[in-house]
Amino acid sequence: MTDALMSGSRVVLRAGALVPWLVLTAVVCAGVVLVDLVSAFFASAAFVLLGPLLPIAGLGLSYVPSVNADYQLVVASPYSTLRLLLLRAAVFLALAAPILLFCGHRLEGVQFGARVLAQAAAVVAVGLALSTLMAPTLSAAVASFAWMSLVQVFLMAGDLADITSSHAVALAVCTAVAALFVLVVRRRALSTDWRYS
């Protein structure tokens, strides 16, 4: 199990997804910091919008066909595809966590960063659940779009702070648990190659 975990992590870290993801993350963080020089409100809004998308973007990138070239071999192995998907999600969440906490700390305090991280975990969980219905790259895009739409709704209502409130974080945790439940129930769908389903 430990060996599988190590090798799985090695694939994620060495896979071509890591470099583009790091570039994307650096651009988002630099953008937020620059906007913060002009307007603290817009910087927080940009961070709330884009921060939770960073881990799911890494997960989606790691399933882009050119990066995920050995996919058919992995599916044909007895190793659980669900386990590998969860492992990749965990790696990107773990990589994004210090970045989100640091940026949140710079903007409004570390608690703000932790709340954005909780939302990021919920977005990842929804993306994982959707991957039982469609390709992981597409499911990552759909989950991202859903998050952006939600932020847009809060922005239009003029109460963006509510999306990082304690209630919203509790809702995010519930959503994550429900999504993971769906993922486990529907894990059979991951057992074959989605491209030929």
Partner 1 sequence: MNGSVIMSEVVQRFGSTVALDSVSLRLSPGITGLLGPNGAGKTTLLRILATVQEPTSGRVGLLGLDARSERERRAIRRRLGYVPQELGFPRGFTAFAFVEYMAVLKEWVDPKTRRAEVRRVLALVGLDSLSTKSVSKLSGGMRRRLGLAQALLGQPDLLLLDEPTTGLDPEQRAAFRALMLEVGRDATLVVATHQTDDVAAVCERVVVMDEGSVTFDGPVRDFVGRAKDHVWVADSPDVSALAHRRTASGRYRHVGDPPIGAEFAQPDVEDAYLLLRGTPEGAMQ
Told to check if 185 binds partner 1 by CB under 8 A, we report: no
Q: What whole-number distance in Å separates Cα of residue 123 and Cα of residue 180? A: 11
**Segment 137-144 long-range contacts (CB within 8 Å, at least 24 positions apart):** 137/60, 137/61, 137/63, 137/64, 139/60, 140/56, 140/57, 140/59, 140/60, 140/63, 141/60, 143/56, 144/53, 144/56, 144/57, 144/60
Tell which one of 33, 74, 86, 180 touches partner 1 (CB under 8 A). Answer: 74
Tell which one of 23, 34, 41, 72 touches partner 1 (CB under 8 A). Answer: 72
CB 115 within 8 A of CB 86: no
Told to check if 70 binds partner 1 by CB under 8 A, we report: yes
x-marked contacts with partner 1 along 4-43 as a string, rule CB under 8 A: x--xx-xx--xxx---------------------------
Nearer to partner 1, 11 or 124 (CB): 11
Nearer to partner 1, 39 or 192 (CB): 192
Q: Which residues bind partner 1 (CB under 8 A)?
A: 1, 3-4, 7-8, 10-11, 14-16, 67-79, 188, 191-193, 196-197
